[in-house]
Amino acid sequence: MFKNVTIYRIAPGWSATVADMEAALDAARFKPCGATQDKSVGWVEPRGEAHGPLVESVAGQRILKLQIETKGVPGSVVKKKAQEEADHIEATTGRKPGKKETKALREDALLSLLPQAFARQMNVWVWIDLDNGWLVTDASSQGKLDEVVTALVRAFDGLVITLLQTAVTPQTAMTQWLSATTPDEWPGGFAVERECELKSGDEEKSSVKFTRHNLATDEVRQHITEGKLPT
């Protein structure tokens, strides 16, 4: 379910029942973009069942799903349509639109083109572990992280979260895992799989990517010795 993981700590003192969370999320349930709307953000059913619960509770763990829908029009298309209108104004009135009017023409062009634009939907999973005070998302970019954090704080009164700070950086930990000569050196219940990308920090920015490849090899360890680190 989670291909990316960003972990937050929930500030002490915040709690909510499943019913309270359900009511809070229902007020921000997802609605598709309107004809002239370029983005819509809201909560959807984790199981994908229409009109189902927005909070999935499993053994005390809460699972949520945020949906982000965007509609985009290529800038070149907007510019072309605005220029056509500017040319029409100049041809019929004899005056060339100024900067302010040109900006307004581009905004009008975008609004007129949005109803024809295709909508793109993306989902972000949220896992809330109240017993341990963790909140985890699978957002794959800073933009998605900002969207989900904003939506959570708006939905739940009093919720305060901070990024988890680890004693060892993820890159250092991954380097240690790949440098291990036997699986016994990995953390308990953990296994290095078959994909990774190593990059050097020098001016050349050299990199090597392994796909469907055994990573517990001298070849991988040699790349690390030469200064390439896992990303």
Domain count, the chain: 3
The torsion defined by the Cα of 100, 105, 106 and 107, in degrees rounded to 10, comes to 90
Residues 157 and 190 in one domain: no
> Is residue 103 situated within a structural domain?
yes
User: What are the pLDDT digits (tens) for 1-11?
Assistant: 788 899 999 99
Domain residue limits at 184: 170-230
**148 and 198 inside one domain:** no
All residues at 6 or more sequence positions from 228 whose CB lies less than 8 Å from its CB, including other chains: 198, 199, 200, 206, 207, 208
For residue 74, pLDDT over 90 is answered with no
Give the global pTM.
0.71
Residue 215 pLDDT level (bands cut at 50, 70, 90): very high
pLDDT at site 100: 85
pLDDT at residue 13, rounded to an integer = 92
Residue with tokens 């990995």: 186
Residue pLDDT, tens place only, 161-196: 999 988 999 899 999 999 998 888 999 888 899 999
Q: pLDDT tens for residues 81-120?
A: 777 788 778 788 888 888 887 888 777 777 777 677 777 8
CA dist., res. 83 & res. 90, Å (int): 10
The pLDDT mean for the chain works out to 89
User: How many C-beta neighbours within 10 Å does residue 176 have?
Assistant: 15
- Containing H/E element for 67? strand 61-71
The pLDDT value given to residue 229: 94
Q: Quick one: CA torsion of 196, 197, 200, 205, rounded to 10 degrees?
A: 180
152 and 107 housed in the same domain: no
Q: What is the DSSP string of 86-118?
A: HHHHHHHHS----HHHHHHHHHHHHHHHGGGSP
User: Looking at the structure, do residues 66 and 141 belong to the same domain, yes or no?
Assistant: yes
**Cα separation, 80 vs 29, whole angstroms:** 36
Q: Per-residue pLDDT tens for 37-46?
A: 888 999 999 9
- Category of 121 on φ-ψ map: left (φ > 0), alpha (ψ -120 to 50) or beta: beta
Residue 1 domain-assigned?
Answer: no
Are both 226 and 138 inside the same structural domain?
Answer: no
- Domain check: are 110 and 124 in the same one? no
Which residues lie across from 15 on neighbouring strands? none
Going by their DSSP bridges, the two strands 6-10 and 39-44 should be labelled as unpaired
Q: Are residues 223 and 111 in the same domain?
A: no
Amino acid 203: pLDDT: 83
- The pLDDT score that the predictor gives to residue 51 is 86
Phi-psi region of 71 (alpha: psi -120 to 50; beta: other; left: phi over 0): beta
